[in-house]
Every structure is written in C-alpha cells, then in structure tokens.
Amino acid sequence: MFVGSRQFPARRGGMDMYGRRTAIWVWPFMLLVLLACNKKETMLPPERTSDAPRQTMVAPVEESASGTVSRRSITLGFSQLGSESDWRNANSESVKEAAAEAGIELLFENAEQSQEKQFEAIRSFVAKKVDVIAIAPVIETGWEPILREVKQAGIPVIMVDREMKISDPSLYVTFIGSDFYEEGRKAGKFLRDFMLDEPGPIRIAELKGTEGSSPTIERAKGFRDIIRERDDFEIILSEHANFTVEGGRRVMEKFLEERGSEIRVLFAHNDDMALGAVEAIKAYGLRPGEDIIIISVDGSRKALEKLAAGEFNFVVECNPLIGPQIMQAVQEIMEGRSLPKRIVSSETVFTQATAAQELPNRRY
Ligand code: AHR
C-alpha cells in the first residue's frame, strides 16, 4: 500500500459543498504529510495483524534531467554473523540466491563470530550508501550506538535470524526469524512426554550455543520453563559449545568424563553440536538415542539421517531458508509499504517416525 492511495481516494468531477469543506481541512493535513515524507520515516496505522507498530520508508526513485522519475535497482548490505554451522551456511546461500532472484544487489559480509567485524561491515555499508541493511547479530547486546549511526544516515535496518536487545524500536524496521523460546519449549515438551513412564531422577546435559546469543538464551529459557513441571528432571551439566560440531564433541567428551554414567538426556541447542556429541558418546561406549536420549534443534539433513537411524530422538525445526522473506521485506520497504515489527518463520518438529519421509525434501 502506498501512503497516499488508501487515505486519499481520488475524486472525479467538480467540487461540491462537501468538497469545499473537505478542502479546508485537507490542505493543512497534506502539508503535514509532505513534511513527514521529507523526514524519510513515518508511522502508519496497522494493515496486517501484528501487535507491534509498523514503519515505512520512501521508495528508491531517481529523477532524470528531464524530470522523469524511474525506479533504480536496490542495494542491500547484509552482515552475516559467521559460518559456524550447516544452518548458517544454508542461511547465507538462501540470502544470496533470493537476492539474485529478486534482482537486488547484495553486499555480503561474513563477520566470523565477531561483533566488531559486524560493526565494520555496517559502517562500510553506510559509506557505500546502500538502500537497506540487514543484520544477523552474533550476540544480543551492544547494538544501539551503531544502529543510531545507521538511522542518522537514513538507512532502514532489518534484524534477521537472531534478536538484538534494544530499547528504541525506531532503530529497526522489522525482525524476521524464528521463535527461539518456542523452540526450547518444543524440546522440553517432547522430553516431558517421552519420559512420562520413566521414573526420575532424569539427569540432563545441555550443550548451549554461543554465549550471549538470542537462540542460546531463549532456547535455554523455553526448555527450562517446560521441564520444571517435573521436579525430578535435573540439568546436571550445561556449557557453551558455540554451535559447532567440534565444540559439541569436545564439551560432550568432558561431560562424559565427569558424569558419563549419570547422563540420561542430551539437549543440544543445534544439530551440529549434537552430531559432535554423538561421536563422543559412541567413543565412550554408549548408544546415542538409547542410553542417552538426544534432542536437538535445526533440522539439517545430517540430523534427520541420524533421527531416521535412531541415533537422535527428536529435532525441533529452525528454518534458515528465509532469504525470500528478507528480499520481500526489502522491496516492501523501498516501495514505502508498512511492515509488521515481527515476522516469525513457520516451523515444525521431526520425530524418528517422520524423519525418513522428510529427508527427500531437505534442502540443507
Ligand atoms: O541463530 C540460529 C542458530 O545459529 C542455529 O540454530 C544454529 O545452527 C546457528 O548456528
């Protein structure tokens, strides 16, 4: 929806009494609209269901010497946080493919887990005067100063995949990504139901992702909020393993050395760490999926193969293929449309029974 079209429907024919009265109050209002457009950013009333405010930016148009106005191509700066997992690599591919398909010029920077590098990338996008900046933030905190710089430059920001904790919502247009808290709850619910007939104590080891990142914080919270329903569920070991296969293997080896005979369940915050842990469990002489129940998040092909083979017990999906949604948001922003403040990816869960039939559809 363009700002003018819905609020001011075109009238045909001459001006009647109603028209004259309308004209008296319409002119000051038009003046206000023009002033607001000059400020490049305006709030619109909600159009789609969302409990959050919407934000609108002006469309990228170029005016030629003869005064003709035409669209120019859109440039998107994307600050990706790293390449730690299969999920992340699939996410990067999805963004690149979707940009090419939409005809959007993409400036892509991989920050290799460094927030400092993300700041550098964002500043370089500002210097290059890109139209929109999308950021997949490595950790939740510390973003407000750089986002204020971007706002000052008049460039709209899309938060992608992970959340940034910021107190001023005008610093970004929309946040596109998964509901990590809900993912943690899904993992907890599976465990609660799976263990219905098993007497406690049920001792759980947890492999957390990157310290300070929103998936780590939210998945841990969601999981705990469900398992606290039973007081004989006990998380006896919990450590960060950075969402990598190597981290998962290394930390699981340590867990097994410390309390190998007690661990009944492993909750890994992503597939890569769970895959590393499975190697450690086998090397220790236990059977993953039987002696130790394995619950993981993401839904990569490798994880579903393990699930179908009985070495994982449950996988909560987290969808990395959000490139098309990001490009759609970029285009809508540039057309001056309003967007909900939060766009949540729709996701499912996989069990040992559903994994095999899902495998042929897996794209990563
Ligand atoms: O932010 C999404 C998480 O980051 C995925 O679960 C994980 O695999 C990735 O590295």
Residue 216 Ramachandran class (φ > 0 left, ψ -120 to 50 alpha, else beta): alpha
Ligand 1: distance of its center to the CA of 301 in Å? Answer: 15
Closest-CA residue to 333 (of 155, 162, 137, 80): 155
Judge contact between 136 and 111, C-beta under 8 A: no
pLDDT, one tens digit per residue, over 154-211 is: 999 999 999 999 999 999 999 999 999 999 999 999 999 999 999 999 999 999 999 9
Cβ proximity of 350 and 358 under 8 Å: yes
Ligand 1: nearest atom to the Cα of 243:
10
Residue 16's pLDDT band (cuts 50, 70, 90): very low
Dihedral angle of Cα 46, 49, 52, 56, to the nearest 10 degrees? -40
Confidence of residue 70 (pLDDT cuts 50, 70, 90): low
Interval 188-204: pLDDT, tens: 999 999 999 999 999 99
pLDDT at 14 over 60: no
pLDDT tens string 229-270:
999 999 999 999 999 999 999 999 999 999 999 999 999 999
Mean of pLDDT values over 134-147: 98
Ligand 1 pocket list (CB less than 6 A): 84-85, 87-88, 161-162, 215, 243, 270, 297-298, 318
Task: Report the separation in Å between the CA atom of 189 and the middle of ligand 1, taken as the mean of its atom positions.
Answer: 20
Question: 349's torsion region: left (phi>0), alpha (psi -120 to 50) or beta?
Answer: beta
Does residue 56 have a pLDDT over 80?
no
Q: Residue 65: its pLDDT value, please?
A: 63
What's the topology of domain 180-318?
Rossmann fold (3.40.50)
pLDDT bucket at 24, cuts 50 / 70 / 90:
very low
Note the pTM of the prediction, 2 decimals: 0.83
* Ligand 1 binding pocket mutation candidate from 93, 94, 181, 270 (most atoms within 8 A of CB): 270
What are the residue boundaries of the structural domains of the chain, listed by start?
72-177+321-344, 180-318
Q: Which two tokens stand for residue 352?
A: 């040992």
Provide DSSP, 137-181. -SSSSS-HHHHHHHHHTT--EEEESS----S-GGG-SEEEE--HH
Cα 350 to ligand 1 centroid, rounded to whole Å: 17
CA of 343 to the centre of ligand 1 (A): 17
pLDDT > 80? residue 9: no
Nearest atom, ligand 1, residue 215 CA: 1
At 247, the amino acid letter reads G
28 CA distance to ligand 1 middle (Å): 50
What is the predicted pLDDT for the residue at 67? 63
**Cα(46) to centroid of ligand 1, in Å?**
31
Q: Please, what is the end-to-end C-alpha distance for the chain in angstroms?
A: 35
pLDDT at 25 over 80: no
CATH topology of domain 72-177+321-344: Rossmann fold (3.40.50)
- Spacing, Cα 257 to ligand 1 middle (Å): 27
Q: Do the domains 72-177+321-344 and 180-318 sit in the same CATH topology, yes or no?
A: yes
**Residue closest by Cα to atom 3 of ligand 1:** 215
Q: Which atom of ligand 1 is nearest to the CA of 84?
A: 10
Q: Report which ligand 1 atom has the smallest distance to the Cα of 297.
A: 6
Name the residue of 87, 112, 246, 322 whose CB sits within 8 Å of the most ligand 1 atoms, as the mutation to test its pocket.
Answer: 87
CA-269 nearest atom, ligand 1: 6
Amino acid letter at 31?
Answer: L
Question: How far is ligand 1, taken at its centre, from the CA of residue 243, in Å?
Answer: 7
